[in-house]
């Protein structure tokens, strides 16, 4: 099997992991009814997952940094299987909370390790595309995994979803053992040195870019369904089609971001994708009364927003190559926190202002992220390696 197909294998596993994370939102009402809690209480399953992922992953990555990475992929999937088993066989809301924590922690370790393994299996000029391919697995889970899970939950028992994910994960463990090559882990980075990494201005700035960009995105996307129904006037059926189109476009956006990073470098890709993201959200506000135009704007939004992700992941890995796993785990943690922050901002806007305002607020937050990118690139230009300095200069930002 070629290395390219091995990266696609990791993307297929990321589809399983992504489905396990996102599926709760798609079947929240069913789960709440089955475990006899309110929908609001069941929503804490999403919060617990994000917090466990955000705060637990960096410590686990540091603890396992020196472990052989194929072995780490298999071990993390084994723990992931245990989390799914708990969701299937142990009754009650409390055990479901425990399952979510285990799933989040194991998923965090697998995702960070898979990024590192993928870049080691690919040449330098293809590493951005390799990361984008793995991210494509998560995009696909939103497009296929969540709707399919909703169908299964409606026709059968929602626990069957986690049983299926667990079974497929066992098969994935076997395949990984057979086809993924062994690779050494990073040098172990003590917590003290991790904190020292966080203190570096360039790393703080890069993580702040992730936080602002994702917060702006999440502010709008969390409430996109009611926005399309109430403000744009789409029918429920059209909203489903629009969100499906958004998901398809996000796949192409991830690949576009990876290709652009490899072709033109991260400075140009990062800045341009942010600017286009702002433009998309402004257009969403201006065209809100026209369902046909909004449909096209959603596709444009998905392409611009998702093209940023592989670029930012790759950039963070280059900031501390000897601790690439730590950097990716930090970025993943910040991403999870930003999603929660964006949802909270959107909730406040909807309650205190109006639903129609969320796209303006989201655009403003992403604009701050784009400005941060511009300042960050200008400040770091003189300190960058010659090839990166030339690339930044050519972007004229």
**262 has pLDDT over 90:** no
Which pairs with CB-CB distance under 8 Å and at least 24 residues apart come from 51-54? 51/336, 52/100, 52/101, 52/104, 52/105, 53/104, 53/105, 53/107, 53/108, 53/332, 53/333, 53/336, 54/332, 54/333, 54/334, 54/336, 54/337
Which structure tokens are listed for 224? 């996109």
Does residue 229 contact residue 290 with C-beta atoms inside 8 Å?
Answer: no
Does residue 350 contact residue 359 with C-beta atoms inside 8 Å?
Answer: no
Q: Is the dihedral of CA 125, 126, 131, 136 positive or negative?
A: positive
Distance CA 297, CA 287 (A): 8
Which structure tokens are listed for 89? 């066989």
pLDDT number for residue 212: 92
DSSP state of 139: H
Which structure tokens are listed for 385? 């390696």
Which structure tokens are listed for 209? 């870019």
* Cβ atoms within 10 Å, residue 40: 9
C-alpha of 106 from chain center: 15
Does residue 325 contact residue 116 with C-beta atoms inside 8 Å?
Answer: yes
Among the listed ranges 64-73, 195-204, 350-359, which one has the minimum average pLDDT value? 195-204
Residue in 70, 282, 88 with CA at minimum distance from that of residue 274: 282
Q: For 200-233, where are the alpha helices, taking DSSP H only?
A: 201-221, 224-226
The tens digit of pLDDT for each residue in 106-149 reads 998 898 888 888 888 888 777 767 877 887 787 778 777 767 77
Distance CA 366, CA 77 (A): 35
Which pairs with CB-CB distance under 8 Å and at least 24 residues apart come from 384-388? 388/265, 388/267
pLDDT number for residue 298: 93
Give the predicted TM-score (pTM) of the model.
0.70
pLDDT number for residue 395: 42
**397 has pLDDT over 50:** no
Distance CA 257, CA 310 (A): 6
The tens digit of pLDDT for each residue in 334-386 reads 887 887 777 778 777 877 888 888 899 999 999 999 998 888 888 766 555 55
Q: Using a pLDDT cut of 90, give the percent of the chain over it.
A: 25
Q: Angle at Cα 163 formed by Cα 137 and Cα 222, nearest 5°? A: 45
The tens digit of pLDDT for each residue in 13-55 reads 999 998 888 777 667 667 888 888 875 577 678 778 878 887 8
Radius of gyration of the chain (CA): 20
The tens digit of pLDDT for each residue in 142-194 reads 777 767 777 787 778 889 999 999 999 999 999 999 988 887 765 555 556 66
The residue written with tokens 């990791």 in the block is 10
Over range 65-74, report the average pLDDT. Answer: 87
Distance CA 255, CA 134 (A): 10
The larger pLDDT score, comparing residue 191 to residue 263, is at 263
Q: Which residues does 371 contact at the CB level (< 8 Å), separation at least 6?
A: none
Category of 384 on φ-ψ map: left (φ > 0), alpha (ψ -120 to 50) or beta: beta
Which structure tokens are listed for 253? 């956006």
pLDDT number for residue 53: 84
């Amino acid at each position: 099997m070629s290395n390219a197909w091995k990266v696609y294998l990791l993307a297929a596993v990321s589809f399983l992991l992504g489905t396990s994370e996102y599926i709760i939102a798609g079947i929240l009402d069913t789960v709440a009814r089955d475990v006899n809690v309110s929908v609001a209480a069941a929503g804490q399953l999403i919060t617990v997952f994000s917090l466990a992922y955000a705060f637990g992953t960096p410590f686990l990555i540091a603890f396992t940094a020196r472990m052989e990475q194929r072995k780490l992929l298999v071990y993390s999937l084994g723990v992931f299987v245990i989390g799914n088993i708990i969701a299937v066989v142990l009754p009650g809301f409390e055990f479901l909370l425990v399952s979510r924590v285990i799933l989040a922690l194991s998923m965090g370790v697998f995702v960070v390790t898979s990024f590192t393994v993928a870049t080691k299996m690919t040449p330098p000029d293809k590493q951005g595309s390799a990361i984008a391919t793995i991210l494509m697995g998560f995009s696909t889970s939103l497009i296929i995994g969540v709707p399919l899970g909703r169908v299964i939950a409606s026709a059968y028992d929602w626990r069957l979803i986690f049983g299926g994910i667990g079974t497929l994960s066992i098969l994935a463990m076997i395949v990984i053992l057979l086809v993924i090559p062994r690779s050494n882990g990073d040098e172990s980075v003590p917590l003290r040195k991790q904190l020292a990494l966080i203190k570096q201005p360039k790393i703080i700035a890069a993580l702040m870019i992730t936080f602002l960009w994702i917060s702006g995105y999440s502010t709008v996307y969390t409430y996109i369904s009611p926005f399309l129904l109430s403000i744009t006037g789409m029918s429920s059926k059209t909203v489903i089609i629009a969100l499906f189109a958004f998901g398809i476009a996000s796949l192409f956006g991830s690949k576009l971001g990876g290709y652009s990073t490899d072709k033109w470098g991260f400075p140009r890709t990062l800045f341009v994708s942010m600017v286009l993201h702002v433009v998309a959200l402004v257009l969403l506000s201006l065209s809100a009364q026209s369902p046909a135009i909004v449909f096209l704007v959603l596709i444009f939004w998905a392409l611009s927003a998702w093209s940023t992700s592989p670029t930012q992941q790759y950039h963070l890995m280059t900031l501390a190559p000897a601790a690439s796993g730590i950097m990716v785990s930090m970025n993943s943690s910040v991403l999870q926190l930003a999603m929660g922050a964006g949802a909270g901002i959107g909730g406040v806007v909807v309650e205190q202002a109006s639903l129609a305002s969320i796209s303006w607020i989201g655009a403003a937050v992403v604009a701050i992220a784009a400005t941060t990118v511009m300042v960050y690139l200008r400040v770091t230009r003189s300190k960058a390696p010659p090839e990166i300095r030339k690339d930044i200069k050519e972007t004229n930002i």
